[in-house]
Amino acid sequence: MIKGIFGRLLFVSLAVILITVIILLVLLSHVYTNFYTTEKEKSLIKAGKEITTTVEKYLKNEISENYLTNEIKGLAHKYNSEISIFPMQLDQETNQSLETFTTHLTEDYFTSDEVNKVLKGNTVTKVTPEPEINLMSVAVPVVINDKVVGGVSLHSPMYDVVNTSSQLRRLSAFVIIPAALIATILVYFLTGYFIRPLQDMSKAALKIAKGDFSATISLQAKDELGTLAQSFNFMAGQLAKVEKMRKEFIANISHELRTPISFISGVLQGINDQTITSAEKEKYVALAIKEIERINRLINDMLDLARLEHGDIKLELRKINLAELVLEVLAAKEPEFLKKDLKPELDFRGQTYVLADYHRVQQMIINLLDNAIKFSPPGGSILIGIQKNAALATIWIKDYGPGISKKDQEYIWDRFYKVDKTRRPEQGGSGLGLAITKMLAEAHNGSVGVKSDPGKGSTFYFTLPLWSEE
């Protein structure tokens, strides 16, 4: 069995070339044979008509028997054939006879029906198989005064047809076979040219499997292979980006878990060895509880993200009043607003109803609001608005923080991504909130987006389908 796509393509290509050469040679042989058989037939019919013209002159006493004999011998030599004249009963108008020129050949190679057909004024042609070489026979009627008085038959072996066809077949073979060899060489190199990028991709894929995401394919062709190479390079780049974010995420998670765990461990150790006094115990226990809550939020975010990625979260869709939900979230977040002296500003009127999961929409609003609170300067404001069109409602939250660069906006919704790489643990956040918001919005057949300029704040938004009574 041929192994490898290179070997298989080469084998198939060579098989196609070989079959094409064989078919071409067979077809050419058939064409040559038919052509020269037809030409020989035409030449014998022409010779037969020349003889009938001479015979007519002989029967009209215009030429002698010797002249006719010499003419027949000359034409027989010229056309490499034997000639026989077969008569029928002649009219009294002529006393010439054709019996002198009659041989057994006519009876040997033409049936009585074929002879009668000639004597009725028709030309008959046939090829008779012989042990050494086929024999072509042609019979032409002799007409005197619009009356058939006999016929001329010519019998010629087909050596010339066979020899000419063989020479042309050899000539064709001399042309076709070298052309096939050249085509074979070209196929070999072309197959290698097309297979080489696939082999390079296979090697690059093995490198990527081993963790080397720098492997790329250098192919500038503007065809399917070029498109495949571009897709492969894009995939490698995306995998490298995901791997980088994964490492950053692990480092961030390790740091964020290590800090509260170290603090909780220290508090427990202090209580155990009584280095923390009874008066301080309540304060440190309250701080430890906050750290536990932060760890719990982090773990819940990770679980939510995992469930969303695997499609394990089932949405409980129902009619929701967005304005009421926003006000409820703002009421719950009031302590955080007061802590930074922030002022919420509302930009919506009337009631907007959407078809969504209440708790998941609440989670999305909280994620975006936490993000706005986190990056807003103390004493500032945060603007929350609701807009709607024919089919969708848009919830947007604007802060007046440092803003986000265009480069970071491309990745802001990615998992584990943080714009501020130097963020301290106490600032909270694992880099999962926006990724979760994006996936929840898409699960509702909505979308997310951000508008921001460095130094001018950011506006985050997501859309949800409107509630319909139909």
Q: pLDDT tens digit string along 233-281?
A: 888 888 887 787 777 777 767 766 777 788 888 888 888 888 887 778 8
Asked if 412 contacts 419 with a C-beta cutoff of 8 angstroms, the reply is yes
Backbone angles phi, psi at 271, to 5 degrees: -65, -40
| SS3 (DSSP) at 395 | strand
Q: 109 and 10 in one domain?
A: yes
At 443, which CATH number?
A: 3.30.565.10
Q: 272 and 320 in one domain?
A: no
- Residue 318 pLDDT class (50, 70, 90 cuts): very high
**Does 447 have pLDDT greater than 50?**
yes
Dist. CA 414–CA 245, nearest whole Å: 9
Asked if 143 contacts 136 with a C-beta cutoff of 8 angstroms, the reply is no
Dist. CA 210–CA 208, nearest whole Å: 5
For 177-196, the pLDDT digits (tens) are: 787 788 778 877 777 777 77
Closest residue by Cα to residue 437 from 375, 429, 294, 468 = 429
Q: 157 and 13 in one domain?
A: yes
At 251, which CATH number?
A: 1.10.287.130
The pLDDT of residue 361: 92
The pLDDT of residue 343: 92
* Total of domains in the chain: 3
Residues 6 or more apart whose CB falls under 8 angstroms from that of 91 comprise 144, 147, 149
Average pLDDT over residues 441-465: 91
Full domain range(s) for residue 141: 5-163
The pLDDT of residue 408: 84
Q: 279 and 353 in one domain?
A: no
For 375-424, the pLDDT digits (tens) are: 899 999 999 999 988 889 999 999 998 988 888 888 888 766 666 654 55
- Residue 6 pLDDT class (50, 70, 90 cuts): low
Residues 6 or more apart whose CB falls under 8 angstroms from that of 204 comprise 215, 216, 217, 232, 236
Please give the full DSSP string across 31-76, using - where no structure is assigned: HHHHHHHHHHHHHHHHHHHHHHHHHHHHHTTSS-HHHHHHHHHHHH
> Which H or E run includes 431?
none
Question: Following CA atoms 266, 289, 416, 306 in sequence, which dihedral angle do they give, to the nearest 10 degrees?
Answer: 120
Burial 431-462 (b: 16+ CB within 10 A, else e): bbbbbbbbbbbebbebebbbebeeeebbbbbb
Give the per-residue SS3 of 225-269.
Answer: HHHHHHHHHHHHHHHHHHHHHHHHHHHHHHHHHHHHHHHHHHHHH
Q: 353 and 278 in one domain?
A: no
Please give the full DSSP string across 15-30, using - where no structure is assigned: HHHHHHHHHHHHHHHH
For 245-258, the pLDDT digits (tens) are: 777 777 767 766 77
Q: 331 and 400 in one domain?
A: yes
- Does the residue 327 lie in any domain? yes
**Does 465 have pLDDT greater than 90?**
yes
Highest mean pLDDT among 129-138, 264-273, 442-451: 442-451
pTM of this structure: 0.48
For 63-106, the pLDDT digits (tens) are: 888 888 888 888 888 888 888 887 765 444 444 555 556 566 66
The pLDDT of residue 94: 46
Average pLDDT over residues 339-367: 90
Dist. CA 50–CA 70, nearest whole Å: 13
- Residue 60 pLDDT class (50, 70, 90 cuts): confident
Residues 6 or more apart whose CB falls under 8 angstroms from that of 300 comprise none
**Does 32 have pLDDT greater than 90?**
no
Question: Following CA atoms 90, 94, 95, 98 in sequence, which dihedral angle do they give, to the nearest 10 degrees?
Answer: -50
Mean pLDDT of the chain: 81
CA atoms within 13 A on the CB side of 429: 25
The pLDDT of residue 290: 82
The pLDDT of residue 61: 82
Question: DSSP secondary-structure letter at 369?
Answer: H
- Does the residue 205 lie in any domain? no
- Does the residue 37 lie in any domain? yes
- Does the residue 55 lie in any domain? yes
The pLDDT of residue 30: 79
At 34, which CATH number?
A: 3.30.450.20
Helix %, strand %, coil % of the chain (to 5)? 55, 15, 25
